[in-house]
Amino acid sequence: MTQSFRITLLPGDGIGPEIMAVTVEVMNQVGSQLDLEFNFQEALMGGVAIDATGTPLPADTLETCRQSDAVLLAAIGGYKWDALPRHQRPETGLLALRAGLGLFANLRPATILPQLVEASSLKREVVEGVDIMVVRELTGGIYFGEPKGIFETETGEKRGVSTMAYKDSEIDRIGRVAFATAQKRQGRLCSVDKANVLEVSQLWRDRITALAADYGDVELSHLYVDNAAMQLVRWPKQFDTIVTGNLFGDILSDAAAMLTGSIGMLPSASLGADGPGVFEPVHGSAPDIAGQDQANPLAQILSAAMMLRYGLNQPVAADKIEAAVNQVLDQGYRTGDIMAEGMTGVGCRGMGDAILKALA
């Protein structure tokens, strides 16, 4: 019997539409092989939404997302919208989508593929075999804490304020996702904070430590964020699963991503307690190469695989896509960002065609 899924597509800006088009073809091919039907519905978000409606996340886009089984997002933003007031910026739409769907858990894997070891700026022996999952809290912390704003002081000087705050319940729910994630991996969880300075981090550390009692099979450790950044580039293989707050997770996940040398390869998943998750590549909209058929679609395609695995509970389809990506890399196909000597250079479409052929 055919299983069908409603999927909202948010192609967004820059290279978004090209990598999304290729990914839809890949999903359709896998779907037809496994008797899965995907009903795609496209909606506006980001700069395109600002141009069409004046706001980066129109209400009907959020509603369409809510009505679907999963949301596949490409990338948003570009120079054109950078100077707009904050409430109209593409990034504000992304934060509103996360908050609106309650997506408090952001899973960002940084896995180095053996075919791409040379793409890393670090030595082979340091990165070979790296397989890290960053679990980033996504709807709290300093991104959303109150008070926030730019206020005028009595002396007429302006004062910018953002507040880093976490409640017990916010720490516990992301902590539980992280422990459960570590259980399914190598059973090691490192919690990252700044408890030597910040009260909010002290509470974070206390709660995560208390949770450990429920997960006897997970080995918990703690690092201060500055040390964690250093350890990530010194000896990344010491990490299995990392759990941290919104801001530290933003920074550390970029660093972890770059260990692999190819941010164009990395997918991510943002999940809530229930309802649809959002799946998107870690990279941005790359406006400098938009529309030139140069973009690497693999992070988007791997995001679709993550959607199938974590959002739609279709591990067989996810495995198929991941195997196809592996195969085209083995065959030597490379987009510009991961090109190396002796490999076959392809564009976005060419890479998509290679994946389709690998699946066939």
Catalytic residues: 143, 194, 226, 250, 254
Contact between 13 and ligand IPM by CB under 6 A: the answer reads no
SS3 5: strand
Q: Is 225 in the site for ligand IPM (CB under 6 A)?
A: no
| Site membership for Mg ion, residue 280 (CB under 5 A) | no
Cβ proximity to ligand IPM, 94 vs 132, nearer residue? 94
Pairing of strands 158-163, 70-75: unpaired
Residue 90 C-beta: closest distance to ligand IPM, Å: 8
Contacted by 170, from ligand IPM, Mg ion, none: CB < 5 to 8 Å by type: none
Q: Strand, helix or coil at 44?
A: coil
Q: How far is the CB of 251 from Mg ion (least distance, A)?
A: 8
Residues 218-277 that bind Mg ion (CB under 5 A): 250
SS (H, E, C) 258-320: HHCCCHHHCEEEEECCCCCCEEEECCCCCHHHCCCCCCCCHHHHHHHHHHHHHHCCCHHHHHH
Shortest-Cβ-distance residue relative to ligand IPM: 91
Nearer to Mg ion, 240 or 250 (CB): 250
- Residues contacting Mg ion: total by CB under 5 A: 1
Specify the residue, 108 or 309, whose C-beta has the smaller distance to ligand IPM. Answer: 108
Largest CA distance in the chain: 71
Complex with Mg ion: residue 205 or 283, whichever CB lies closer: 283
Q: Which is nearer to Mg ion, 108 or 334 (CB)?
A: 108
Count the Cβ atoms, other than its own, within 10 Å of residue 341: 5
In degrees and rounded to multiples of 5, residue 159 shows phi and psi of: -135, 120
Size of the site for ligand IPM (CB under 6 A): 4
Of 69, 193, 250, 337, which lies in the binding site for ligand IPM, with binding defined by CB under 6 A?
250
Instruction: Record the tokens describing residue 154, joined without a space.
Output: 């009595």
What DSSP assignment string belongs to 81-134? GTTS-GGGSHHHHHHHHHHHTT--EEEEEEE--GGGGGGSSS-HHHHTT-EEEE
In the set 7, 27, 57, 94, which binds ligand IPM (CB under 6 A)? 94
Query: What is the Cα gyration radius of the chain?
Result: 20
- 3 state DSSP class of 326: helix
Comparison of 57 and 94: residue with beta carbon closer to ligand IPM: 94
Query: Nearest distance from residue 254's CB to Mg ion, in Å?
Result: 6
Contact pattern from residue 73 through residue 92 relative to ligand IPM, giving x for each residue in contact according to CB under 6 A and a dash for the rest? ------------------x-
131: closest CA among 15, 218, 242?
242
Residue closest to Mg ion when measured from CB atoms: 250
The yes or no reply on residue 137 touching Mg ion (CB under 5 A) is: no
Q: What is the binding site for Mg ion (CB under 5 A)?
A: 250
Q: Which residues of this protein are in contact with ligand IPM, per CB under 6 A? A: 91, 94-95, 250
